[in-house]
Structure 1
Amino acid sequence: MPELPEVETTLRGIAPHTVGNKVIGVEVRQPRLRWPVNPDLPALLFEQPLLSITRRAKYLLLHFPNGTLIGHLGMSGSMRVLPAGTPAEKHDHVDIVFDNGQILRLTDPRRFGAMVWTDRPVEQHDLIRKLGPEPLSDAFTGERLYELSRKRKQPVKTFIMDNHTVVGVGNIYANEALFMAGIRPDRACGNISRHRYEELAQAIKAVLTRAIEVGGTTLKDFVGGDGKPGYFAIELSMYGRGGEFCKECGTTIREIRLNNRSTCYCPSCQT
């Protein structure tokens, strides 16, 4: 699944080619995505300039004068900028055509992605309003993790992947951050000290920042907004490395399941 760095990479890839340009057409080939595409979307966007694109968690927010289009890449989707007239393939579901000769195309083989229209303040939308803080913002701190975790027994990995705790820390980067902070992913979150949560918050920020710098993680289905894959996968220390040797100490990495997610950790480096 594209995680926060992949979505941020997509934003940075598509924004220079779309923001400030006017929509001259919308083609919806498949309206049955995770939520149905508004049938009035072509009329709503026609002749509207794209004012800006922002990100909230894993949602891409395309801001127009008359509302906001909330985009999500689902499990295996992508948004790319292509020359107008580029033939559509089987899983190319929505095209937004701009007056600069470019199209913004949503491709989504599993159809778990979305393009949801709202004409109300986007921060009040049900998909957005209950989200926790952005992990790279000043609002996300070790103190927040410590306070929210008190008297809770769930594994710390599940805790930091909860969008009410902090947004955008998906499975790949949760594995990496917990390894960087030296914390076992299956430890009860309520038993972790304030100091260790400070280390974990900094690890989350560092891992996500690095992933964004190098363009997201290469997954078999993901490409960035410019059509190029990310390259963070070559630096992964834990994710997908069960049974291999830890790069730090040489101990065999263990793989377990937490909340139906593959979870890897080093029994020597993480306590």
Structure 2
Amino acid sequence: MLDEVALRVCAGFATCLVWHVASAAVAKPLPSAEIDRVVVAAIPAWQGKPAEVLDRLDLSEPFATVSQWTLVVARDPDPSAMPGFTDPGALAVCLVKTLAVECSEKYGPTKTYPWTNTAYALRTAKVVHAGARENAPLLLLQTCSTSGMNGNCDIRTVLYAYSRAADRFHPVFVNDTRGSNNNQDARFVEHGPLRGDVIVNYPTDHAPYAYWIEVYARRGVGDYTRILRYRGHTGYGDGNVLAVADSEMPEILRRLGKWQLGDALPVPPQSPKGCGRLILRRGVEWCDFASR
């Protein structure tokens, strides 16, 4: 029987961690049921009700890790994080090294946004690649806070890199939005000249209302840093069906020296149905539905 110890710690400004350590070494890949068991044991039960595992992602193969690593997303049984809130409990997002569990249940205040962003819904959990040959893997995680009556929620986007020397995953990019209903976005670029970069857009606070456009890039093994910021030409509520990152792509690429007027317009990764040909209006890319 494993000699297990559970310890709850709050460290740093952005995470509350729960560690659950099993003393026995694991010589071969552990079954999913055993990993789920230690994750559930690491999260305190509430009125006798244990946490519920919602999703699981193997990280050992795509990252060629030294130890067995697994991402496990579980539902915390305790709904008291927000008094009066009737939805299920918050998410516990757990990185599991063999049988050692590190769960981030609450995202605390950041330098940019001084409020607490507790994850209640999982939007994305997948392995992406920053390299052109499907190499340089990163773990992309997007979670959503509590939703308002209009479906609006704060979205946190995190990219984790793996250090083989330390045998550990660590965040290299973190972004919080102030809601989701105003076309805010943090997009990891999976194809094209900006592959591996992240495009962030959010509305301006003053008229004429448009979007701030930011591009973040990672060079080497460090964290992502901002390489571009400008006030976009895409108007808030202008009727453009393209996502802001797509409508601004010609200008983004032009400012980074990767596109010039007269070149073919960048093709969005997901064009709206019936988009027709792409056209440029005052520096903004649009779908020309009249050309269908």
TM-score of the superposed pair, with normalisation by structure 2: 0.25
- Structure index of larger Rg: 2
Question: Which structure's residues are more often helix, by fraction?
Answer: 1
Higher relative contact order (CA 8 A, sep 6+): 1
